[in-house]
Chain A
Amino acid sequence: MPRRTIIPFGPQHPVLPEPIHLDLVLDDEKVVEAIPSFGFIHRGLELLCTKKSFQDLVLVAERICGICSFIHGLGYSQGIEKIMDIPVTERAHYLRVFWSELSRIHSHLLWLGLAADAAGFESLFNHCWRIREKILDIIEETTGGRVIFGVCKVGGVRRDVDDDTLKRILGQLKEIEADYNNISEIFIRDYTIRHRFSGVGVLSRDDAHRLGAVGPTCRGSGVNQDQRKLGYAVYNDLDFEPITESEGDSYARCMVRVREVSLSFELIRQAVNKIPDGPVDIKVKGFPEGEFFSRLEQPRGEVVYYVKGNGTKFLSRFRIRTPTFANIPALVHMLAGCDLADVPVIVLSIDPCISCAER
């Protein structure tokens, strides 16, 4: 019988920006089983719904994660707006799409940088984050924040962006996109990147569906599933198709993100060209009573917010199912049978956000 070894992976590891722990059961250099455990940054944020008013809770929702913060706030606000039947204005919806897609670009650029770094390609890492800085500058100019935007609220958005500024930003984004296209070519053609990610952590289409994978993790396996197709905000007015790849390996997941950045530039262009005039928020009266499962597409995949109001200013339940949590079973499946040296790449390939997952 082969001798088995258990190696602890994390919670601190060079490839992990946040703490997650995996017990890797090894047979020689092959991983037989990966046992995940959470809790190092569990903050119990869902419980705050009983202590913060439903209007304040949007600020808590934004702080679930520092990367996809805006979309957290949007998902929560959208759930409350459905319960209270609040007619959010068209302009607010378009601005929400504008900031959501900027969030997606900066999140994917962050991941692409980390992926380049994991492959030992430090100059590419620097270029990804250099471009990301320009996106953060636009976010700062339009919202006042770089990480926590703080612009989404129940009933609309807190800030308007005038049309001249939006047009100017479109010009800036055109330059940024040209810059991005240069580095995306490296991800597509570079031998080192292809060699490091191709064939590593293969997840078949059937497995992706069976294991409940979401976001680029499932789209990299050919599953055409993007919650933006639900048509929330004004995505139903925008022309786009979800990005999919068919190989199901780490490189396919990387390619989905590379192409999704270009799609986000296109969606921003469409949104800015269609944005109507009008107010950006409306006054909210009363308290929420009812329940709704609000579903959106974050950079890492589908996120679900369950909000349940009881007619008071406090909610009786606020539950978030984040994409990283949904991708854990797929991660455990991919790790079984891989080489120990490939574990960091596979873990990185699902773009784990542990702050989100633990809440």
Chain B
Amino acid sequence: MFEEQEIICIDKQGLLDKIRSVYMEGYRIVQISCTKENTYQIDYTFDKEYKFLDIRVNIPIEDAKLPSITGIYECAFAYENEIHDLFGIQIDGINLNYQGKFYRINVHAPFNIPVAQQGKPPGDKE
């Protein structure tokens, strides 16, 4: 048995208004994730009494900037700092901005490195 999942795609300009309306409806934030393909796909996932809702924003790779939603969901700082540290996306106005020190890793934005440059995983015999 699988749950029904609603995914709503919006543009960056309408993000904060949409997130605010979701907040007013009483949704809990579940996670924020980033997927890099031709664009950055940012998914804001919410839940209300086991009802799943995903708000999706696509932003161009050459202009990787987003407004922070921590003014609405204050706990989003963890996800936004993570996206900044792993993907290098600039997120403006985070309430707790760790300035790239949330993930103490040597490589900057490791999830931005093209697959061909990542090297083989350990134990790969191919």
A212-B28 contact, Cβ under 8 Å, with A39-B103, A42-B105, A319-B33:
yes
CA of A235 to CA of B5, assembled, Å: 19
Contact, CB under 8 Å: A50 / B110: no
What is the distance, in angstroms, from A169's C-beta to the closest C-beta of chain B?
26
Contact, CB under 8 Å: B105 / A231: no
Q: Among residues 302 to 355 in chain A, which have CB atoms less than 8 Å away from a CB atom of chain B?
A: 302, 304, 306, 308, 316-317, 319, 321, 325-326, 328-330, 332
User: Which residue of chain A has its CB nearest to the CB of B49?
Assistant: A225
Q: Mark B1-14, 1 if CB is under 8 A from A, else 0.
A: 11101000000000
Contact, CB under 8 Å: A48 / B3: no
What is the distance, in angstroms, from B1's C-beta to the closest C-beta of chain A?
4
CA of A45 to CA of B105, assembled, Å: 14
B contact residues around A332 at 8 Å (CB): 96
What is the distance, in angstroms, from B57's C-beta to the closest C-beta of chain A?
15
Check A47 for interface membership: any CB of B closer than 8 A: yes
Q: Among residues 22 to 56 in chain B, which have CB atoms less than 8 Å away from a CB atom of chain A?
A: 28-31, 33, 35, 37, 43, 45, 50, 52, 54
Contact, CB under 8 Å: A37 / B1: no
Q: Mark B73-93, 1 if CB is under 8 A from A, else 0.
A: 111011000100000000000
Contact, CB under 8 Å: B43 / A306: yes
What is the distance, in angstroms, from B98's C-beta to the closest C-beta of chain A?
7
CA of A232 to CA of B52, assembled, Å: 14
CA of A75 to CA of B27, assembled, Å: 23
A316-B37 contact, Cβ under 8 Å, with A38-B103, A82-B2, A293-B45:
yes
Contact, CB under 8 Å: B98 / A236: no
CA of A78 to CA of B3, assembled, Å: 12
Neighbour of B75 across the interface among A38, A212, A295, CB < 8 A = A212
Check A129 for interface membership: any CB of B closer than 8 A: no
Chain B residues within 8 Å of chain A by Cβ, number: 36
User: Which residue of chain B has its CB nearest to the CB of A39?
Assistant: B104
Contact, CB under 8 Å: B28 / A47: no
What is the distance, in angstroms, from A61's C-beta to the closest C-beta of chain B?
14
Check A130 for interface membership: any CB of B closer than 8 A: no
Neighbour of B30 across the interface among A36, A39, A78, A212, CB < 8 A = A212
Q: Mark A29-54, 1 if CB is under 8 A from B, else 0.
A: 00000011111101010111011100
Contact, CB under 8 Å: A230 / B111: no
What is the distance, in angstroms, from A94's C-beta to the closest C-beta of chain B?
13
Q: Among residues 196 to 240 in chain A, which have CB atoms less than 8 Å away from a CB atom of chain B?
A: 209-212, 227, 229-232, 236
Contact, CB under 8 Å: A211 / B75: yes
CA of A212 to CA of B31, assembled, Å: 9
Check A292 for interface membership: any CB of B closer than 8 A: yes
What is the distance, in angstroms, from B71's C-beta to the closest C-beta of chain A?
13
B contact residues around A236 at 8 Å (CB): 1
What is the distance, in angstroms, from A252's C-beta to the closest C-beta of chain B?
19
Q: Other than the known A37-B102, A231-B3, A295-B3, what 14 A-B pairs have Cβ atoms closer than 8 Å?
A: A37-B98, A39-B103, A48-B121, A51-B118, A51-B121, A211-B74, A212-B30, A212-B73, A232-B3, A236-B1, A306-B43, A317-B35, A326-B30, A329-B77
On A, residues with C-beta under 8 Å from B are 21, 35-40, 42, 44, 46-48, 50-52, 78, 82, 209-212, 227, 229-232, 236, 292-293, 295, 302, 304, 306, 308, 316-317, 319, 321, 325-326, 328-330, 332, 358
What are 5 inter-chain pairs, A to B, with CB distance below 8 A? Answer: A37-B102, A47-B111, A232-B3, A321-B33, A358-B103
- The 10 tightest CB contacts between A and B, nearest first, are A329-B75, A39-B104, A321-B31, A39-B103, A317-B35, A211-B75, A39-B105, A231-B1, A212-B75, A319-B33
